[in-house]
Structure 1
Amino acid sequence: MPTHASATRDPAALLERTLHEWGGQQDLWIFGYGSLIWRPDFPFAESRPATVHGWHRALKMWSRVNRGTPECPGLVFGMLPGGSCRGVAFRVERTQVPAIFPALWQREMVLGVYDPRWLACRTPGGPVQALAFTLPRSSPSHTGVLPEAQYRSIFRQARGIYGSTLDYAETTHAELLRMGIHDRALARLLDIARGAADAA
């Protein structure tokens, strides 16, 4: 049940299509790989460690609302094609989905940047199909590779309605470590951030 980067960027239309793809006949699974791991903000009946193949977590998405501003964009995680990603799969009871979805959409899809996709997750309790918020490399919100000096500036300055990019990255890293997940790319970026703090 994939959606594609060429689809409309209207968040309301994407919401309607995602709920239609789900169908409403069974509980809904949501895959968390960033802040959803440590702050899901919705009631769930079950959570499981989960692995998705064919996608990886990357701090390579511009954030102009949640962790930055249009004048000083921050960074948030996206799921980019390639590799694999360990995170958490949350099961939401079917009857709860209409109540929790508007707030989830407002949080994750306020600008319609992500591509919501249904991805196969491997979990200790068996495979599940979970909704994940992915980012195509063709998106204008994909940062590509940034120089270290720009990362330092972002970590030092960027802040949005949910707080700073640095707090977001550090909290996610700490929770991943607690789960036994070692994200080397994120650890390297936090080393860069610590260099920015030392220079401040």
Structure 2
Amino acid sequence: MWVFGYGSLLWNPGFEVSRTVLARLPDYHRSFCMRSIHHRGTPDAPGLVLALDAAAGAECHGLALGVRPDQADTVLAYLRERELISSAYVERVLMVDLADGTRVEAVTYVIDPDHVQYCGGLPLEEQAQIIAQAVGGRGPNTEYLHNTAAHLDGLGIADPDLAWLDGRVRDLTRIKARQQG
């Protein structure tokens, strides 16, 4: 079984990965288009997390995470508990292109654009302001952003919007620290 990782699964899969391969998912793009009311925010002060938003002609680069056959059911149960906490994500089995050109089916979590937590199209500055402030059950929204940006960079995956957000949120965090100090 393959799982497509494009956000926190890159740096915190939460399951034993038997193999990782650079991969590309066509017709989706990675963006902070989901309000997080559990993991990186609260219902009163939502954060933002990455989701895959459908867009014809787009592509998202990430990792295909291999799962041993004897672990597939356990991993799938874990992923469903983790990713489907509020039904904003929809589980899909989609075709991804591995770095060697092979196409494989991968379990992928994409955003439901009709869900109340969907917020596609927010300006980058608004995203930065939200991410700089939000904290949820798994910690600060800034941690999620910075870890994802660092891992994408380490994998050689360019994401200009994410890189801009990473820098802008670091600036906002420094400004806030100076104002409080």
Query: TM-score scaled by structure 1?
Result: 0.80
CA 1:151–1:95 in structure 2 vs 1: closer, same or farther (change >3 Å)? same
1:116 positional shift: 1.0
Task: Give the number of aligned pairs.
Answer: 173
Residue 197 of structure 1 aligns with which residue? 173
Q: Percent identity?
A: 32
The answer to whether the aligner puts 1:37 opposite 2:13 as a matched pair is no
Provide the aligned C-alpha RMSD in A: 1.7
Residue 49 of structure 1 aligns with which residue? 22
Q: Within 5 Å, which residues of 2 pair with 1:1-200?
A: 28-82=1-55, 83-125=58-100, 126-147=102-123, 150-200=126-176
1:59 positional shift: 1.2
- Is the Cα contact below 8 Å between 2:124 and 2:161 reproduced in 1? no
Tell me whether 149-158 or 37-46 shows the greater mean CA deviation: 149-158
- Is the Cα contact below 8 Å between 1:116 and 1:134 reproduced in 2? yes
Q: Which has the higher strand share?
A: 2
SS at match of 1:42: coil
Structure 1: unaligned runs, 5 residues or longer: 1-27
CA 1:84–1:161 in structure 2 vs 1: closer, same or farther (change >3 Å)? same
Structure 2: unaligned runs, 5 residues or longer: 177-181
- Is the Cα contact below 8 Å between 1:78 and 1:135 reproduced in 2? yes
Distance (Å, rounded) in 1 between the aligned partners of 2:53 and 2:18: 28
CA 1:39–1:32 in structure 2 vs 1: closer, same or farther (change >3 Å)? same
1:145 positional shift: 2.9
